[in-house]
Chains A and B, each alone.
Chain A
Amino acid sequence: MSYHAGARVRVRTGDPDHHTRVPRYVRGHTGEVLAVLGRWTLPDDSARGLQPPRVEACYAVRFSASDLWGSGDHTVTVDLWESYLDRA
């Protein structure tokens, strides 16, 4: 699975007991892929010393403040690895 710019994606809702780079405030929310940044080591794996760590595409995903907070007219763009996301 990979996403192109413009794809709608939903952030998975899990709350792992290990290090992750998913900010809590975007969990379960839907955003739009702005760009594919590259393929990088998944921090969840490298922080736990898993060998080999997964290497995945990382995306800049844009969310609207009204979706995240119920108010506000700004947008927030968050960088998220592939396994944090599902197609919306």
Chain B
Amino acid sequence: MTGHDEHSAAVRARRLEERLIAAGLASDEEIDEYLTGLYANASPVNGARMAARAWTDADYRDLLLSDGNAAAAELGFDGLSYQLRVIANTPETHNVIVCTLCSCYPVSLLGPSPGWYKSFAYRSRTVREPREVLAEFGLHLPDSVHVSVWDSTSEARYMVLPMRPAGTAGRTADELTALVTRNGLIGTAPV
């Protein structure tokens, strides 16, 4: 990690803000206003609703996996500032999202990213030893399940569609939505 600032993401972000303010490119008020807007409707419930809909509607699942932006818009989440790519877990393949260069992530659908997602440890280890990282999250995958890691290095943002848990037949959309976690949508939890 030579050459990298080892301070927390919050400290590094504040230093960047101070540089922007010192250079006259932004004010504290403008940064606050931007962040308030960014987070006003950002919640993992948004992504959870999309996953639950995909579990109960095959056409929606097809749309979600082929055109994530259109699928998001259908549930009212339109105008995403990125290309949304949704990757489905299967019995054979488990997917997990990382951003090794920074901390890219579909904030509007998953809510503010967790601190660990921005940590050097998660970012460097997930591409190298994902099974060990997932095991530390309590997700122990059998060797027969292939692990597919997605490094978000472009304007695309990735989201995982977890598998529908067994024993949930007959649940309502709201009940299914409540089963989906933020970590499930990142790939560090089964659902």
| A interface residues (Cβ-Cβ under 8 A, vs B) | 21-23, 25, 37-38, 40, 58, 60, 65, 68-69, 72-81
Q: For A21, A75, A79, A81, which residue has the most chain B Cβ atoms within 10 angstroms?
A: A79
Known: A40-B154, A77-B148, A79-B156. 9 other contacts (CB 8 A): A23-B100, A58-B156, A60-B156, A74-B130, A74-B131, A74-B146, A74-B147, A75-B147, A81-B154
* 30 A-B residue pairs with CB within 8 Å: A21-B153, A23-B151, A37-B83, A37-B154, A37-B155, A37-B156, A38-B83, A38-B155, A40-B154, A40-B155, A58-B154, A58-B156, A60-B85, A65-B128, A68-B127, A72-B128, A72-B129, A73-B143, A73-B146, A74-B131, A74-B149, A75-B148, A76-B149, A76-B150, A76-B151, A78-B151, A79-B153, A79-B154, A79-B156, A80-B153
The answer, yes or no, to whether B101 is at the interface (CB within 8 Å) is yes
The answer, yes or no, to whether B43 is at the interface (CB within 8 Å) is no
State the main secondary structure of chain A at its contact with B. Answer: strand
Give the residue name and chain of the A residue nearest to B151 (CB): A78
Q: Which residues of A contact B56 (CB under 8 A)?
A: none
Give the residue name and chain of the B residue nearest to A58 (CB): B154
| B interface residues (Cβ-Cβ under 8 A, vs A) | 83, 85, 100-101, 127-131, 143, 146-156
Q: Which residues of B contact A60 (CB under 8 A)?
A: 85, 156
Q: Which residues of A contact B155 (CB under 8 A)?
A: 37-38, 40, 58
Q: How far is the CB of A19 from chain B (nearest CB, A)?
A: 10
Q: How far is the CB of A15 from chain B (nearest CB, A)?
A: 12
Q: Which residues of A contact B146 (CB under 8 A)?
A: 73-75
Q: How far is the CB of A73 from chain B (nearest CB, A)?
A: 7
Q: Which residues of B contact A21 (CB under 8 A)?
A: 101, 153-154
Q: Which residues of A contact B101 (CB under 8 A)?
A: 21, 23
